[in-house]
Amino acid sequence: MERRKFIQNVSLGSVAAGLTGMGTLRAAQPGTLPADQTFNLDYAPHFGMFKHHAGDDLLDQITFMHEKGFRSLEDNGMMGRTPEMQEKIGNHLAKLGMTMGVFVLNKGGNGANTLAAGKQEHVDIFLDGCRKAIDVAKRVNAKWTTVVPGDYQRDLPLDIQTANVIEALRKGAEILEPHGLTMVLEPLSDTPNLFLRYSPQTYMICKGVNSPSCKILYDIYHQQKNEGNLINLMEMCWDEIAYIQIGDNPGRKEPGTGEINYQNVFKYIYEKGFKGVCGMEHGNANPGKEGEADVIAAYRKADNFL
């Protein structure tokens, strides 16, 4: 059956019911597809998002994600896991045919060791993080690593700070590029002290670095807070966007809990031909198994745009 007809015929309530023991999509009405029907876009949950269903074991959580139709995973804290666990995660993803999304490149924290300062010791910490990220990426078969340049260096002119960031990122790209690893720069809304906040600003920096290993991570939640005008600005920056993250605003929970029309945004991303990962970098609006079921139902609803 075509995806459109399937989604139209299966109520979101049956998705939630299947997850809470009231029945499953595998035992749903005749003619419907099973629970592991995939989505139009490649959404990536993170560890802990479905722990009430899958338990604390990380591999079991990945298996549950796969069973519910997700085909990617992201894990900001991957660099902090043991090499042995990284290998297990990578092997399990490969076994299930799943993709590893982003992990955060460790440079000491979002605001720390800012590249805007032009200080060699900060650049050295960043470049060391790049080298270590390569090893992690090989273990988990990752293609993207998140980079946040750091805070403003308030005693320097803005254009000098921008030049410092570009120069440091070029050095990082030289390390990453031979290994097929892309740093995706994430403009954030967490604090006005952060240097990188806007998508056009990030676009300019990527053009300045001029490397396939330096692209934009467009986090819809952060950019709705910082600048809005989501689809128009994504269009302007599209050729530098390599990765997308999701979260509704306010609250940073699943789609449908805030003000963003995610069905329209997802339709735009799909019609652009985006084949990359859309990371589910948000919390669950409600606790426990019911809250986890709500997350899956929310994605089924927002993904129903064809």
The set of catalytic residues is 186, 281
- β-pair partners for 148: none
C-alpha–C-alpha distance, residues 78 and 35, integer Å = 28
Nearest to 146 by CA among 137, 155, 138: 137
Q: What does the chain come to in residues?
A: 306
CA angle at 172 for the pair 186 and 199, rounded to the nearest 5°: 25
**Maximum Cα interatomic distance, the chain, rounded to a whole number of Å:** 67
Q: How far apart are the first and last CA of the chain?
A: 14
Number of Cα atoms under 13 Å in the Cβ half of residue 254: 23
Beta strand spans in the chain (E): 42-44, 72-73, 99-100, 103-104, 144-147, 182-185, 214-219, 241-245, 277-279
CA angle at 70 for the pair 37 and 238, rounded to the nearest 5°: 110
